[in-house]
Amino acid sequence: MDFALSGKVAVITGGSEGIGACTARLLAREGCDVAIGARREEPLQATASAIQQESGRVPLALSTDVTSAEDCAGLVRATIERFGGIDILINNAGASSAQPFEQLDDEVWQADLDLKLFGAVRMARQCLPSMRERGGGRVINVLNIGAKQPGPGSMPTTVSRAAGLALTKALSRDVAADNVLVNAVCIGSIKSAQWGRFREQRAPEATEAEFLAQVGRNIPLGRIGETEEAANLIVFLASGAASYITGTAINVDGGASGTW
Ligand SMILES: NC(=O)c1ccc[n+]([C@@H]2O[C@H](COP(=O)([O-])OP(=O)(O)OC[C@H]3O[C@@H](n4cnc5c(N)ncnc54)[C@H](OP(=O)(O)O)[C@@H]3O)[C@@H](O)[C@H]2O)c1
């Protein structure tokens, strides 16, 4: 299969760790120039070095908070200055936030929407002109399976992610004529730093392996997913092999979700 990714330019928010870092590494291996944005400098630089070692490409790694419109504009501007334009945007920055409804105040709601919905809106707004200029592009929104099937105690994240689903579909229609394809990936349970934090909160007495095995028992495929298993789908959707797919949301969840 020809992924036709060589020479493309990709921006990945939350590209310093977990699914975002793995996606950036795979895209660079396929011949993309990559720009990664996240807040903390140390993991950003560690991932940038790993990408350079593996692919021989020097990525752009820029400290970016997607809740800041200025930071989003800065990341896009720096990417265009360094690489000449943008073909692929992966809106991946995010963090889990789920509590019973009555424990949530407006501040928590607003912070979650600002990170997950507005982060994606700001980045897409900044990237679209360059994609149009280059004759097309890809936007991939990394969401959560709760966007389609919200469970109890799952707000605000499931509501922010459902807004991400609507954004994916509506934007795909607005920009289809410009050959910009917009899709979402709905993540179930994928091993990442996030799960280390969950273990500390939910089962501090368990080892990491015990905790992850316990999580895996509730998943039809019997295990938690690897970051590469989510990144593979993201790379496919970014590639020339996915040229007739837009406005859809695909689950990567080992069968956990009861919906399509
Ligand atoms: N892993 C799962 O099981 C799972 C399940 C459902 C959904 N997801 C979603 O998938 C995406 C990736 O998750 P992951 O598990 O790979 O997470 P992770 O390992 O915790 O990585 C999150 C990344 O996002 C960055 N980030 C967080 N807040 C940011 C902000 N305000 N601005 C810019 N970057 C920010 C982090 O860096 P800094 O902290 O340095 O900014 C980091 O690079 C997230 O959107 C997450 O909500 C994951």
DSSP string, 11-64: EEETTTSHHHHHHHHHHHHTT-EEEEEES-HHHHHHHHHHHHHHHS---EEEE-
Q: Are strands 155-156 and 98-99 parallel, antiparallel or unpaired?
A: antiparallel
Beta bridge partners of 161: none
pLDDT of residue 137: 98
pTM of the model: 0.98
Q: Ligand 1, atom 45: nearest CA belongs to which residue? A: 94
CA–CA distance, 228 with 19 (Å, rounded to integer): 7
CATH, range 9-190+225-252: 3.40.50.720
Phi-psi region of 77 (alpha: psi -120 to 50; beta: other; left: phi over 0): alpha
Number of other CB atoms surrounding residue 210 within 10 Å: 12
- Cα 82 to averaged position of ligand 1 atoms, centre (Å): 25
To the nearest whole number, what is the mean pLDDT of the chain? 97
- Are 59 and 33 in contact, with CB atoms under 8 Å apart? yes
Number of other CB atoms surrounding residue 61 within 10 Å: 24
- Cα 177 to averaged position of ligand 1 atoms, centre (Å): 31
Query: Which backbone phi and psi does 190 adopt, to 5 degrees?
Result: -125, 130
- Are 229 and 185 in contact, with CB atoms under 8 Å apart? no
Under 8 Å CB-to-CB from 77, ≥6 apart: which residues?
none
CA–CA distance, 172 with 136 (Å, rounded to integer): 12
pLDDT digits (tens, 9 = 90+) for 13-46: 999 999 999 999 999 999 999 999 999 999 999 9
pLDDT of residue 260: 86
Q: Ligand 1, atom 29: nearest CA belongs to which residue? A: 93
Q: Which residues of the chain have pLDDT under 50?
A: none
pLDDT of residue 217: 96
Residues with a CB atom less than 6 Å from ligand 1: 13-14, 16-20, 37-40, 43, 64-67, 92-96, 115, 142, 144, 187, 189-190, 192-194
The rounded percent of the chain whose pLDDT value lies above 70 is 100
Beta bridge partners of 9: 33
Domain ranges of the chain: 9-190+225-252
